[in-house]
Chain A
Amino acid sequence: QSVLTQPPSASGTPGQRVTISCSGSISNIGGNTVTWFQQLPGTAPKLLIHSNNQRPSGVPDRFSGSKSGTSASLAISGLQSEDEADYYCAVWDDTLNGVFGGGTKLTVL
């Protein structure tokens, strides 16, 4: 069981806005930045959001991240069928010790 808690599943219809939560503690989310990854079926994870809310080049602005206290959220607006994937939050502390959330399987209905 991960120290970062995510809901196991989420769903939405095309065009909708969905959010995925990631809950932690002062020792992980509370004191460090949050990263989000997208893992499409059968592929390697892809960096989606870093530093709580920063999108790497090439990531659509439909994806956004936020953090408040010991929790973080990933929001996907204008949901598309190709967004169906597993999503993971993660934290690396200042000693480079890393931890992932348990993952959320997003289904586009």
Chain B
Amino acid sequence: EVQLVQSGAEVKKPGESLRISCKGSGYNFANYRIGWVRQMPGKGLEWIGIIYPTDSTTKYSPSFQGRVTISADKSVSTAYLQWGSLKASDTAIYYCARHSGYSGAGYYSIVPDYWGQGTLVTVSS
């Protein structure tokens, strides 16, 4: 069974650093991209970026480039999302999701098919 298990809720102060994790199991972790998504309180989903654990190549949304860092350690089947200096506006639930490729007549899509349970990050002084 494919599972993505995320680290627990965090409460931090503005300016502090943070790294949250997403551990995959039930599949070959290195072969599937992991993406991260933000959901601010009462708001919609926002795509942050994606990593390919095999070679750690990353792609970031322009809205998050420079604000967060996505990394992965395939030896422990875990992806990470980290901040160097948190702001109150970083308060949100963060989801990781495995991306799989689907192909058919005339199309090839890479989409999130399995999701973690989410990590609530609260940044408050």
Question: Which parts of B90-125 form the interface with A (CB within 8 Å)?
Answer: 95, 97, 99, 102, 104, 107, 109-113, 115-118
Q: What's the Cα separation between A97 and B61 when bound, in Å?
A: 7
A44–B95 CB distance below 8 A: yes
Q: What's the Cα separation between A102 and B40 when bound, in Å?
A: 12
Please choose the segment from B13-21, B23-31, B42-50, B76-84 that sits at the chain A interface, where 4 or more of its residues have CB less than 8 A away: B42-50
What 1/0 flags go to A27-51 for Cβ under 8 Å of B? 0000001010101000011110011
Asked if A95 is at the interface (CB within 8 A of a chain B CB), the reply is: yes
Contacting residues, chain A, for B37 (C-beta < 8 A): 45, 100
Contacting residues, chain A, for B102 (C-beta < 8 A): 50-51, 54
Give how many A residues have a beta carbon under 8 Å from the other chain's beta carbons: 27
Contacting residues, chain B, for A60 (C-beta < 8 A): none
A102 CB, nearest partner CB in chain B, Å: 5
A66 CB, nearest partner CB in chain B, Å: 14
Q: Residues on A close to B: CB < 8 A?
A: 2, 33, 35, 37, 39, 44-47, 50-52, 54, 56, 86, 88, 90, 92, 95-103
Known: A96-B33, A100-B37. 13 other contacts (CB 8 A): A2-B44, A44-B95, A44-B115, A44-B116, A44-B117, A44-B118, A45-B37, A45-B115, A51-B109, A52-B107, A95-B59, A98-B47, A100-B44
Q: Residues on B close to A: CB < 8 A?
A: 33, 35, 37, 44-47, 50, 59, 61, 95, 97, 99, 102, 104, 107, 109-113, 115-118
Q: Which residue of B lies closest to A32 (CB)?
A: B109
Contacting residues, chain B, for A98 (C-beta < 8 A): 35, 47, 50, 61
Contacting residues, chain B, for A33 (C-beta < 8 A): 107, 109
B59–A96 CB distance below 8 A: yes
B109–A103 CB distance below 8 A: no
Contacting residues, chain A, for B112 (C-beta < 8 A): 35, 37, 45, 47
Contacting residues, chain A, for B111 (C-beta < 8 A): 35, 47, 50-51, 90, 92
Q: What's the Cα separation between A56 and B109 when bound, in Å?
A: 13
